[in-house]
Amino acid sequence: MAEISEETLKKAEEFKLTANDHFGKQKYALAIDFYSKAIELNSKNAVYLSNRAFAYAKLEQYGAALQDASAAIDVDPKYIKAYYRRGSANLLLGKYKEALKDFKKVVGILPKNAEAQEKFKQCEKIVRQMAFESAIATEDEKPLSETLDVESISVESSYDGPHLMDGKVDLSFVQQLVAHLKAQKKLHTKYLYQILIEMKKLLCKLPSLIDIEVPEGNSFSVCGDTHGQYYDLLNIFEINGQPSIENPYLCESQMSTRKLIPPVNGDYVDRGSFSLELVLTLFAYKLLYPDHVHLMRGNHETINMNRMYGFEGEVTQKYSKKCFDLFTEVFNWLPLSACLNKKVIIVHGGLFSKDGVKLDDMRKISRNRQPPDEGLMCELLWSDPSPFPGRSPNKRGVGVAFGPDVTHKFLKDNNLQMVVRSHEVKEEGYLVEADGKLVTVFSAPNYCDSVGNKGALIRFDSQMNPKYVQFTAVPHPAIKPMAYASNYNMFMK
């Protein structure tokens, strides 16, 4: 390799400083651009690569973060921050054994570093827990939902929240529940168990792709990620109209009206610190109107994500680990996609690593499990669109990046007109791509109280013409996002 001139080294360092400034302002995409410019001038600087890995991780592009951290280690095998950041990326990808190796390396060199020790112990605990669960698991073991003795749980006279009558959800219960949760009060454990058990019974009867009909003259609304931002969800109901007979979202026929909450396209939980309240409200509405409330699974309705981003910690703190395990059972049965009027397909992540996938293939996906690392289920939850033709590795490290041509071919093969997906924060709350054939909708405004983005929903008429409705964040109680999450800081002091 030719020697780099002093002038070039100086320019690379200027790019790094500019990138650091953007990073400090949480403008991570711009930071990546300037780190990349620095790397183009000096590809043998481990700091540039490691810093870009950190920025990629902030955008949840853990595959790219892993690649950069590994490249930094190749450049400088003694650069300890790179091991820390690679370990963090592996941890966030659910690659716990690989993460453990990196953190072991870090604590071996820096035995007194508290952050490294915490990460090492965290990984070690997870690996041991997984080994223990694998050792005690049996094929004929009954799920928790079938062994819980809910009826034996008593409701204390001091409890001042809503009561389920005969275990059934009615409109009065839902209205009281929303008011109770909005006031930061807990639903009784007995009723929480009953709702989750009934939700599982309801969801397991559904196919992995649900078909929805929007009658002539009516409209249908679609929301994207809400990520535990409960008070913003309630604001959506205010903006789009409260579900009621007087204000229907969908008419079942010209003779009668039925109610519909906008279908929420996965990622109800994690990050925001009111995930439990949000998902519980949606589940209650689903039980109230089972044919007119539609909920799909996102990549965050999974154990790995819940473990790192807060939902497991939130449920365990507010209720118990048993409650979290029951939520996991329910999440496993959430449908993976929906089709509106045989024209618009709704998925959380995106499309596939191969051509020729038909809607029937999506209907037949066996979903009662944690998502695998590849295949249709994984790609529905994790893939992202790319502006470039064809397919390429996804920067998240999971799923695939698919170009506009892939979108067009999938739509043509299945006689559809549009793909709606979520999975990515967008400054305006939505982004239209692929010549208008693909739209990303994101419904968590000012994501994590820091991004400053708008939220959006899509309102389709019966001809599947979209109208985009934007909104801004509303105040919430003073509990910060990620309050219940694992500490996964990728920076070492």
Q: How wide is the angle at C-alpha 128 spanned by C-alphas 398 and 330, nearest 5°?
A: 55
Do residues 315 and 327 make contact, with C-beta atoms less than 8 angstroms apart?
A: yes
- Give the integer Cα–Cα distance in Å for 71 and 35: 14
Do residues 193 and 149 make contact, with C-beta atoms less than 8 angstroms apart?
A: no
DSSP state at residue 93 = T
- Give the integer Cα–Cα distance in Å for 450 and 439: 24
What is the token pair recorded at 97? 């054994």
**Furthest C-alpha separation in the chain:** 80
Query: Token pair 């540039």 is at which residue?
Result: 48
Helices 28-41 and 6-24 sit at what angle, rounded to 10 degrees? 170
**β-pair partners for 438:** 419, 433
Active site residues: 300
H/E element holding 401?
strand 400-402
- Give the integer Cα–Cα distance in Å for 358 and 335: 16
For residue 223, give the nearest of 282, 144, 305 by alpha carbon.
282
DSSP state at residue 212 = E
Do residues 303 and 330 make contact, with C-beta atoms less than 8 angstroms apart?
A: no
